[in-house]
Amino acid sequence: MRYLSGLFTALLLVANPSVFGWDHWGADLGGSRFSKLDQITPANVGNLVRAFVFHTGDLEARAPELMARTKLEATPLFVEDSLIFCSPFNEVIALDPGTGAPKWRYDPKISPTQLPANRYNCRGVTYWVDTKAAENALCRARIFMGTNDARVIALDAKTGIPCVDFGDHGEVRLDVAKPLLWPGEFQITSAPVVSRDVVVVGSAISDNTRVDGPAGTVHAFDARSGKPRWSWDPLVRDGIEAGAANVWAPMSADEARGLLFLPTSSPSPDFWGGKRPGDNAHANSVVALRTETGELVWSFQTVHHDVWDYDVPAQPTLTRIDTGAGLRDVVIQPTKQGFVFVLDRDTGQPVWPVEERAVPQGAAEGEQLSPTQPFPTHVPALLPQQFSAADIFKPFLGLGNSACEQQLSGLRNEGLFTPPSTQGTLFYPMTGGGVNWGSAAFDPVNQILYANVSRAIHIIKLIPRAEVEGLKPAKGFDLGEQRGAPFAMTRRVALSPLGFPCNKPPWGETVAVDLKAGKILWRSTVGTSEDRAPLGIAFKWGTPLPNGVVITAGGLVFTGAMDAYLRALNAKTGEELWQGRLPVPGLANPMTYFWKGEQYVAIAAGGHSEAGTTIGDSLVAFRLARPGETPSLWSRTIDRPGGRFLSGALVVALTILLLGIGLWRWRRRPH
């Protein structure tokens, strides 16, 4: 039956090759992350085997201290009979899709002294075909990439040769306008978007360095010549002093409407906004611009006057949904808070009511908070937004967790949107919580939204300027100077002595949502402690999931996690069906493609330096076993709820031992 399915799929592929490729970062220009491939199903997913593992060579070629500043978050494209992706150092690599053998690679020579604030990172590249060029002309099909040192590069998609007619011999350099404090204060991390012959890029900017940070200007260039087409600054600057509101997350485009959709971030600095009074339009917003001119069409703000670092972190998902009153073209925008906003694509108006609700006040000196914030009413929040002492993680046979209780006591904690303070404020969801850059996925057939969410606590504290001198970052603490503000800030994740979050698990989930009904269909805990805990103990507590998922017509959801497995879930139930072992954790978005009669699933596995995982440099692909092949230890089905875990008695005994050691070490260390 598998080969009949493969034959049918192959015939469809010939008829419409784009249906079964992966030619955009989010599968399509609207970021659906949905594939019509159906060869791999819940019935046969247990037969997946590793097709290949490709290593970029960074582990051998780069210094360890440089690799410690990397994040391999790239999603490959399947175009021009190749898998094409970028390394954290912006090397573009093309592989044979069946064997993983390299076909070409291009190195833009990123400086090892760049030291980008958001780590060396490249989430992906962009593919575009110049329909006006001759069929076999060089650079008719192009790969575009933004770089850590603020260049936009155009390459021939078949050979990797720079397109010399684009800018200066294949590249243009962004005009940052304001002098940088160091080269890595400004970079490009997400893939550009190309629509209507225009290539558009955002930027990633150091968040908490200074009030007058670089502007978050979005830049557009002619896709053929590289000549500037337009630029757009997200901030309305009347009477404010601030920078950023940049677009660091991926963008989307509606080719037919000629609209570009931007997810904008918070103004600088994140946690004190006394010099930027008002709502700070169009920061923290979903924004629609005319693709060809940059003209503002509409803007919807998800956070007013942000002092919580609640950027709009995810690619806007463009799709058509059944609202109960007929089909409607919409923009779906998930957020760090766990909200899902559903907006009309033409007007930006909410499809279902959004209420302005009163939020906690009593800000730090000089601050002017918004009295209300927008709350969606139809789609429930994807994760809890309140935290109390009852939610502290107590694995020690239900007894107290004094280390976490000590950390969390005395903090301001009045629920979502409690403002930062000098006494310290509990942020839940954390600034990297909810849905992050991995974005959401939407099944247009079954009308279901899927998203990964992370649950952890941030402790944010404002430090009066007079106390900042001599203050140095400590292990586990971020220190943001917020120059030009009366306060610096510190940020840390609330962790137990064993390194586990202080809040109860699960710490990472995949969530399925029926948008029409406004109902969460299922939650599935994703990830275990196997690759972090002593002795490889696999507590199924979930791991933070900044990455996203891919969903298939075969009825599967694939995702990576902070342990070294690619997982397959049943799209209808959330049941975990299969695990594929990776060299290191795969905190990137997986993708799927069809090659020579076989469906493959691939994911970049490079670990995550900010999360403290093992660092790697691999791209791993899986396919169904061929005749004579059998799944190995690198691929396994889940035979019982929870998978392969230790017996209850042994888990309890080891938990007592490990917590005892951890608490003893906690009490001995200086506070």
Let me know: does 334 contact 435? Beta carbons within 8 Å.
yes
> CA quadruple 285, 291, 293, 295: dihedral positive or negative?
negative
> What does the pLDDT read at residue 624?
97
Q: Which residue has the higher pLDDT, 585 or 634?
A: 585
pLDDT band at 16 (very low <50, low <70, confident <90, very high): low
pLDDT digits (tens, 9 = 90+) for 145-179: 999 999 999 999 999 999 999 999 999 999 998 89
| pLDDT one-digit tens code per residue, 90-140 | 999 999 999 999 999 999 999 999 999 999 999 999 999 999 999 999 999
Cβ–Cβ under 8 Å, residues 479 and 543: no
DSSP E strands, 114-264: 120-121, 126-129, 141-146, 151-156, 171-173, 186-187, 193-195, 198-201, 204-205, 218-222, 228-232, 252-254, 259-263
Report, in this order, helix, strand and coil percent for the chain, each rounded to 5.
10, 35, 55
Res 1: pLDDT:
47
CB 542 within 8 A of CB 509: yes
With tokens 């491939």, the residue in question is 37
- Name the pLDDT band for 475 (thresholds 50, 70, 90): confident
Question: What are the tokens at 288?
Answer: 């629609």
**In this predicted structure, what is the pLDDT of residue 11?**
52
Which residues does 407 contact at the CB level (< 8 Å), separation at least 6? 459, 494, 502
- Return the pLDDT at 648: 45
Partners of 327 in the β-ladder: 322
Burial class, 249, CB count within 10 angstroms (exposed 0-12 / middle 13-18 / buried 19+): buried
pLDDT in tens, 510-564: 999 999 999 999 999 999 989 877 777 889 999 999 999 999 999 999 999 999 9
Tokens of 629: 């092949």
Kindly state the DSSP code that residue 391 receives in the 8-state scheme: G
- 649-664 residues labelled b (16+ CB within 10 A) or e (exposed): eeeeebbeebbeebbe
Rounded Cα–Cα distance for residues 331 and 24 (Å): 17
- Return the pLDDT at 642: 39
Q: Which residues contact 644 (CB under 8 A, 6 or more apart)?
A: 538, 636, 638
Active site residues: 309
What is the band of 633 on the pLDDT scale with cuts at 50, 70, 90?
low
Supply the pLDDT for residue 608: 85
pLDDT of 575 over the 80 cut: yes
pLDDT of 650 above 80? no
Whole-angstrom distance, CA of residue 453 vs CA of residue 510: 6
Percent of the chain with pLDDT over 70: 91
Summarised one tens digit per residue, pLDDT across range 44-95 is 999 999 999 999 999 999 999 999 999 999 999 999 999 999 999 999 999 9
Beginning with the edge strand found earlier in the chain, give each strand of the sheet holding 126-129 in spatial order: 126-129, 141-146, 151-156, 171-173
Asked if omega into 371 is within 30° of 0 (cis), the reply is no
What is the reported pLDDT for 609?
A: 84
Q: Write the single-letter amino acid at 548.
A: G
CA distances from 634 to 51, 581, 594, 618, 622 (A): 11, 5, 22, 15, 10
**Which two structure tokens, joined as six digits, stand for 199?**
């290539």
Residue 76: closest CA among 114, 4, 126: 126
Q: Which pLDDT belongs to residue 638? A: 75
Instruction: Give the pair of three-digit tokens for residue 429.
Output: 């969801």
Instruction: Find the mean pLDDT for residues 566-570.
Output: 98
pLDDT grade for 371, boundaries at 50, 70 and 90: very high
Enter the tokens of residue 444.
Answer: 């247009």
Give residue-wise pLDDT tens across range 396-449: 665 668 899 999 999 999 999 999 999 999 999 999 999 999 999 999 999 999
In this predicted structure, what is the pLDDT of residue 321? 96
Q: How many helices (H) and strands (E) does the chain have?
A: 5, 43
Q: How confident is the model over 239-286, as pLDDT tens digits? A: 899 999 999 999 999 999 999 999 999 999 999 999 999 999 999 999
Ordered alpha helix ranges (H), 509-559: none
Q: How far apart are the first and last CA of the chain?
A: 64
Would strands 34-35 and 549-552 be described as parallel, antiparallel, or unpaired?
Answer: parallel
What are the φ and ψ backbone dihedral angles of 552, each rounded to 5 degrees?
-125, 155
Q: Is 671 strand, coil or helix?
A: coil
Give the C-alpha separation, 420 to 538, whole Å.
Answer: 36
Distance CA 524, CA 301 (A): 30
* Residue 559, H or E segment: strand 556-559
Q: What is the DSSP letter of 389?
A: G
CA distance 150 to 215: 13
* Average pLDDT of the chain, as a whole number: 92
- Ordered by where they begin, the domains of the chain are 76-122+124-173 (2.40.10.480)
